[in-house]
C-alpha cells in the first residue's frame, strides 16, 4: 500500500467517524430533539437575516438606478433649455455648502448661465469653489470675486453669522 492510498483510507475513516458522531449527536435520545430545534431555529434566523439583507440591497440598487435615470433626464433637459437664474443660484449655493466653511458670507448671482461668486473665504477654499462651481450643471461661465481672508472669525463676527467650523 502506497502513502497516497494510506492517506486516502485515513481520510475516509476520519470522515466516516465525523459523520457518525454528528448523527449520534443529532439523534441522541435525551437531548437530540433540543439540538434539532436549536439547529432549525438558527437556520430560520439566518434565512430571515439574509432575506432582510437582500431586501435592503435590492432597494438600494433600485434607488441608485432611479437616481441615475433622474440625473440623466435632468442633464438632458438642462442641455435643451435655459435654466432660470434663480434655480442656477440655488444649485450653486447648494454646491458651495459642501466646500466652504462659511457659505453665508458668499453672495451668488447668475445671469444667462454666467455665475458670479463674491465674498470672503479662506485662502484654501478658493480653488475648491472654482472647481465646484465650474462643475455645476447649467453654469456656462464662472467669475470669482472672492477675498481670501486668513481670519474669517473676525469677518463672521462683524457679519453677525455663526462661527461654524469646517469638518
pLDDT tens digits for 57-67?
Answer: 999 999 999 99
d(CA 137, CA 46): 46
Residue that is written with C-alpha cell 476520519 in the block: 14
d(CA 34, CA 138): 67
Range(s) of the domain holding residue 11: 3-63
Query: Dihedral of the CA atoms 75, 77, 78, 84 (nearest 10)?
Result: -140
Asked if the structure places residue 76 within a domain, the reply is no
Predicted local distance difference test score (pLDDT) of residue 167: 46
d(CA 164, CA 63): 32
Asked if the structure places residue 167 within a domain, the reply is no
Predicted local distance difference test score (pLDDT) of residue 10: 94
Read off the CATH number of the domain in which 150 is found: 3.30.1340.30
Q: How many domains does the chain fold into?
A: 2
Same domain assignment for residues 89 and 155: yes
Residue 144 has phi, psi (to 5 degrees) of: -105, 125
C-alpha cell at 143: 467669475
Same domain assignment for residues 44 and 108: no
Asked if the structure places residue 37 within a domain, the reply is yes
Using alpha carbons, select from 112, 117, 147, 113 the residue that is nearest to residue 130. Answer: 117
Asked if the structure places residue 75 within a domain, the reply is no
pLDDT tens digits for 3-41?
Answer: 999 999 999 999 999 999 989 888 888 888 898 999 999
**Ramachandran quadrant class, 116 (left: phi over 0; alpha: psi -120 to 50; beta: rest):** beta
Alpha carbon separation from 83 to 77, 138, 165 (Å, rounded): 9, 6, 33
Same domain assignment for residues 145 and 103: yes
Q: Which residues of the chain have pLDDT under 50?
A: 163, 165-167
Listed in sequence order, the residues at least 6 apart from 70 whose beta carbon sits closer than 8 Å to its beta carbon are none
Residue that is written with C-alpha cell 430533539 in the block: 33
Amino acid at each position: 500500500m502506497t502513502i497516497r492510498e494510506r492517506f486516502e483510507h485515513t481520510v475516509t475513516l476520519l470522515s466516516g467517524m465525523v459523520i457518525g458522531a454528528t448523527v449520534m449527536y443529532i439523534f441522541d435520545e435525551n437531548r437530540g430533539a433540543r439540538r434539532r430545534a436549536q439547529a432549525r431555529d438558527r437556520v430560520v434566523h439566518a434565512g430571515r437575516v439574509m432575506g432582510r439583507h437582500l431586501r435592503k440591497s435590492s432597494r438600494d440598487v433600485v434607488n441608485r438606478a432611479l437616481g441615475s435615470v433622474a440625473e440623466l433626464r435632468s442633464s438632458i433637459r438642462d442641455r435643451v433649455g435655459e435654466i432660470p437664474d434663480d434655480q442656477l443660484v440655488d444649485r450653486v449655493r447648494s454646491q458651495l455648502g459642501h466646500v466652504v466653511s462659511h457659505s453665508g458670507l458668499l453672495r451668488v448671482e447668475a445671469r444667462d448661465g454666467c455665475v458670479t461668486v463674491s465674498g470672503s473665504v479662506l485662502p484654501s477654499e478658493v480653488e475648491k469653489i472654482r472647481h465646484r462651481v465650474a462643475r455645476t450643471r447649467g453654469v456656462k461661465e464662472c467669475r470669482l470675486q472672492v477675498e481670501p481672508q486668513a481670519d474669517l472669525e473676525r469677518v463672521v463676527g462683524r457679519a453677525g453669522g455663526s462661527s461654524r467650523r469646517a469638518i
